[in-house]
Amino acid sequence: MDDQSRMLQTLAGVNLAGHSVQGGMALPPPHGHDGADGDGRKQDIGDILHQIMTITDQSLDEAQAKKHALNCHRMKPALFSVLCEIKEKTGLSIRGAQEEDPPDPQLMRLDNMLLAEGVSGPEKGGGSAAAAAAAAASGGSSDNSIEHSDYRAKLTQIRQIYHTELEKYEQACNEFTTHVMNLLREQSRTRPISPKEIERMVGIIHRKFSSIQMQLKQSTCEAVMILRSRFLDARRKRRNFSKQATEILNEYFYSHLSNPYPSEEAKEELAKKCSITVSQVSNWFGNKRIRYKKNIGKFQEEANLYAAKTAVTAAHAVAAAVQNNQTNSPTTPNSGSSGSFNLPNSGDMFMNMQSLNGDSYQGSQVGANVQSQVDTLRHVINQTGGYNDGLGGNSLYSPHNLNANGGWQDATTPSSVTSPTEGPGSVHSDTSN
DNA sequence: AGCAATGATTTAAC
DNA sequence: GTTAAATCATTGCT
């Protein structure tokens, strides 16, 4: 207010009246008597200045009436142009102080995150990436689909709230900006307000609103993070695999008991079959190996079960293979088998008929499969052939797979490590011995 | 509530 | 990178 009154004093004392400043001259009272011509002009200026000064303090109705009178004042145009000039000069320093700011890095981070989470961005398919991540992290299967949809629903909810709020803010911002601009434009007729100043004011308003928007974005991000941690932290919400998935994994495990290290391709295939991720397959095999090794006795029943389960198909497959070999090349049993043997067999059955490229496994694969079948058959033979060590029916199956060191007999090195360049025909490298 | 089973994570070794 | 081993955290059964 000091600057303003000083400015007005200068105006009244020097620029307009043409007189030198009279030391510390206060504004003339608004209602004074008319004196000489000079005095009268001074009185006019003082009056009009006072009116301009107070017009913003008055109510709109009051101001409306006064504005009209003010605009009609004979001194108004001259005074107005001078006020504008002074305002422009003082405004320069202000303008220099606050130039347009660079994009806020924090805001950019929030925007990026919201975009990545599918909260902002296009409506259709929004959140699919995050939802897919949720599906992958929480472990597939039918149980997971419930969680998946639940996650999606919650994310959609957040998304809706976010957009509604954002729209509200934007609308309010626009309304307010328009209102202020109208007000300033209106006032620019009576007060020295330049278009640039209006622009600056709009900028200030937008900045204010964008800071509010940032708060909204921040809280939305927080909500998404909480949602994610709740749904995606598998440890917090562990889901057991479906029975079918466990069965598939167990079948593979027990039919490859001699070397239960599925190759990368086999893991992928198992993951696909079980609707879980490859790392979940790895986890499962890791857990299974260690738990089996730790307590073989406990798993004997299970081993027998799966051995018996695959025995019939294994027997059929081996029989067919033998028959096939005999018919194809009776003199050299192994020479002709590679090209024609493609029957389902044993534990590999669920893998071999649909390799990654859709072809049947043939050629070198056959040897591995037969070995696997022999593994399985050996269990079954032990079980059904009456071999009994006298310790009871459940101890039929002997853990021939483990060596004295506690390692897997045939598992010299895990297949995925030692044979990364295996061809597509040797997916089951872990069974070839 | 107690417990076993089980999927995931961590750590260390390779 | 993978793996074994230990451990954590949850699920599901009794």
Give φ, ψ of A402 to 5 degrees: -95, 135
Q: Which residues 272-331 of A interface with strand B at a CB distance below 7 A? A: 276, 279-280, 283-284, 286-287, 291, 298
pLDDT at position A427 is 36
Please name the nucleotide lying closest to A289, CA to C1': C4
- Chain B bases closer than 7 angstroms to a protein Cβ: 5-10
Rounded, the Å distance between the CA of A287 and C1' of B9 is 12
Cα–Cα dist A29/A240, whole Å? 88
Task: Name the residue with the least CA to C1' distance from nucleotide C9.
Answer: A235
Q: Which residues 276-315 of A interface with strand C at a CB distance below 7 A? A: 282, 285-287, 289-290, 293-294
Reported as a single tens digit per residue, the pLDDT across A306-340 is 888 877 666 777 677 666 665 554 433 333 333 33
Q: What does the radius of gyration of chain A's CA atoms come to, in whole angstroms?
A: 43
Residue A235 beta carbon within 7 A of nucleic strand B = yes
User: What residues are paired with A402 via a beta bridge?
Assistant: A408
Model confidence at A10, in pLDDT bands (50, 70, 90)? very low
Residue A139 beta carbon within 7 A of nucleic strand B = yes
Taking each helix axis from N to C terminus, what angle separates A37-55 and A60-71, rounded to the nearest 10 degrees? 150
Signed CA dihedral, A218, A219, A225, A228: sign only = negative
Residue A413 beta carbon within 7 A of nucleic strand B = no
Average pLDDT over residues A89-96: 59
What is the percent of chain A where pLDDT is above 70?
48
Please name the nucleotide lying closest to A267, CA to C1': C2
Whether residue A102 is predicted with pLDDT greater than 60 in this model: the reply is yes
Q: Which residues 172-201 of A interface with strand B at a CB distance below 7 A? A: none
Reported as a single tens digit per residue, the pLDDT across A203-253 is 898 888 888 888 888 888 777 766 666 665 555 567 899 999 999 999 999
Rounded, the Å distance between the CA of A142 and C1' of B2 is 30
Long-range contacts from A155-160, C-beta under 8 angstroms, 24+ separation? A155/A117, A155/A118, A155/A119, A155/A127, A155/A130, A155/A131, A155/A224, A155/A227, A156/A127, A158/A119, A158/A220, A158/A223, A158/A224, A158/A227, A159/A118, A159/A119, A159/A126, A159/A127
pLDDT at position A414 is 54
Average pLDDT over residues A394-401: 49
Rounded, the Å distance between the CA of A350 and C1' of C12 is 29
Model confidence at A270, in pLDDT bands (50, 70, 90)? very high
Residue A246 beta carbon within 7 A of nucleic strand C = no
Rounded, the Å distance between the CA of A259 and C1' of C4 is 15
Return the CATH class of domain A243-322.
mainly alpha
DSSP string for A297-318:
HHHHHHHHHHHHHHHHHHHHHH
Q: Which two tokens stand for residue A291?
A: 């738990």
pLDDT at position A246 is 94
Task: Name the residue with the least CA to C1' distance from nucleotide C2.
Answer: A417
Residue A237 beta carbon within 7 A of nucleic strand C = yes
CA-wise closest residue to A87 among A208, A190, A207, A206: A190
DSSP A426: G
Residue A335 beta carbon within 7 A of nucleic strand B = no
Residue A416 beta carbon within 7 A of nucleic strand C = yes
Element (DSSP H or E) covering residue A116: helix A105-117
Task: Name the residue with the least CA to C1' distance from nucleotide C10.
Answer: A238
Model confidence at A86, in pLDDT bands (50, 70, 90)? confident
Instruction: Pick from A184-198, A272-286, A375-389 the range whose average pLDDT is largest.
Output: A272-286
Rounded, the Å distance between the CA of A371 and C1' of B8 is 33
Residue A19 beta carbon within 7 A of nucleic strand C = no
Q: Establish how many alpha carbons lie within 13 A of residue A168's alpha carbon, considering only the half-sphere containing its beta carbon.
A: 8
Higher pLDDT, A96 or A265: A265
pLDDT at position A93 is 53
CB atoms within 10 A of CB A211: 11
Rounded, the Å distance between the CA of A87 and C1' of C14 is 85
In angstroms, the Cα distances linking A256 to A261, A298, A317, A346, A363 are 8, 18, 16, 10, 19
Rounded, the Å distance between the CA of A260 and C1' of B3 is 29
Rounded, the Å distance between the CA of A155 and C1' of B7 is 25
pLDDT at position A89 is 74
Residue A26 beta carbon within 7 A of nucleic strand C = no
pLDDT at position A109 is 81
Rounded, the Å distance between the CA of A355 and C1' of C4 is 30
Element (DSSP H or E) covering residue A328: helix A296-328
Whether residue A30 is predicted with pLDDT greater than 50 in this model: the reply is no
Higher pLDDT, A315 or A29: A315
Instruction: Pick from A33-37, A106-110, A316-320, A413-417 the range whose average pLDDT is largest.
Output: A106-110
Domain ranges, ordered by start, for chain A: 61-95, 105-120+146-236, 243-322
